[in-house]
Structure 1
Amino acid sequence: MYKVLIVDNEFLMRKAMKKAISSIDGFQVVNSFDNGESAIKYCHENFVNIIFIDLVFPRMCGLDIVRQILKVNPDIYVCVLTSYIDFELKKEDIFFKINKYLFKPISLSKIKEILETYKITCKSNDIKIENLVNLLKEGNYRNIYTNIFQLSKDLKKTLPNDEEELKKSLFKLKDKIYRELTIEQNIVKEEIKNIQISSEIDIAFWLFNLLDKILKNISIKKYIILEDVLNFIDNNIYKNLSLNDITDKCIISQGYLSRIFKSTFSISVMEYVHLRKIMIAKRELIFSNKSIGEIAFELEYNESNYFGKVFKKYEKITPFQFRTRYKIQNKE
């Protein structure tokens, strides 16, 4: 049974919403309040799945109430009841943490649609997040690379089509993965807010970068020396890097680096470099009109034939075949 909290200063609105929600199988209105202070106190003491909340209260701004509740329960599904969304609200730090904005008056059919969608996506997303967390705990970078397009395809099925709603869902997913792994993060809203994500291919590249970042974070926790190594690779990924370049710059023996890298990423240092480069190449092949030779040159694969061999080793198809396949998919 999913637990729902209603916070609105209009008695008739609370009564109508309680009646509507209670008629939907699987949902229970556990309480309703006409003020933010009581709602915050209730959420401190009780678990709630979903909150429907107005933005206008006599003593406390609705957004401040949401902020306080999210500190206690970051996974709560927030549905804001409002008459309009102005430009200033869209600039608020809390904007992307709110799941739905519902415009008054609210119909029973709209409430039912939201709750039924929540029921389906909640179960599905929990499984997807569990799979991603397990993949990160396993620490096999090649598995992450190999499965990223399928993972994003599966994930896209459970996410909203609207680009803004999609970004909010990804923001929540990212936040939950960090918390599941008990990793601290500095959440920068611009990180998702200012990027273009609309298709499963966009999600694939975003998800790969996210998992890469998290796995690096986990690895650095185990071996602090890897911070210098990974930063050096990041800053020189477009160069023709060798293992000697990395060990000389980071003042670490090849043997020791190879051992600790293998224990955290389950691949060699140079395979990690190649996978990072090929992922960059894949983005260019899909989204740019650069020739395959130009892409190889930018990544400092001195011969396009060598680039083609490395690409085919991991993708099982040539760069040209990859471009043809995914450019068509991206247009659909």
Structure 2
Amino acid sequence: MDKERTILIVDDEETTLRGLTKSLEVWADGRFRIRAAASAGEALQTAQAEKVHVLVTDICMPEMTGLELIEEMQQMGQQPVSLILSGHSEFEFAQTAIRLGVLNYLVKPVQKKKLIQSVEEALEKEFTQERAGIMQKAADHSLADLEQDHKQMTSPVQAGKDYIDLHMDRQMTLKEVAEHVHLNPSYFSVIFKDQTGLTFSEYVTRKRIQKAKQLLLTTTIPVAEIAETAGYQTAKYFNKIFKEYEGLTPGQFRRNHK
């Protein structure tokens, strides 16, 4: 989590907004961007200008309720983890809040400790969701199906897959993996294809590309280093294979998904 994460506070009560903003600014200490909006309209303007990761909003405002604000932001493509503020102890909007994925409901006046704890939980949830989204973008559905069907594989094939996964950062041959599982290379090749639906070389390539995509999406490591980490001896060859599978160069893939 870093300074690129934005926490937006929305409240039409000036004193409350100022107090919440100051509390979070002191707590954040520059680690996150803290934005404040005195109305739903201002909040939507902020959401148009930048991605909002955590939303802390009053529920009762003149233009629209906090829940309506969340819906508007979702229609804009923004999916912040949301916290609701209210001056009432009764939770009249429970069903709508649950449907919209509101994480927590804070009753005014909000205790500073409770506010910070809730924001930390929201950041953690947002970070987890973002990671899940990244992993989904990097996922290879053929490999995902294999992981679900691993119980149907015999021990040698599973052991071979495990060996490949552990040595992804270097060159390896079918003969090497077959010897590791104590089988003849030709026989191992046949049963591997039969049980995985992929040839040995295709499985290795798909695993390498998937690993590369994860690194492209989650790090700023140069493409040449990613190529090496994924087991390719040259960046040029890595770029060629990556484009064959993804239709984009590694650099284009990284830019498109950032």
How high is the TM-score relative to the length of structure 1? Answer: 0.39
How high is the TM-score relative to the length of structure 2? Answer: 0.49
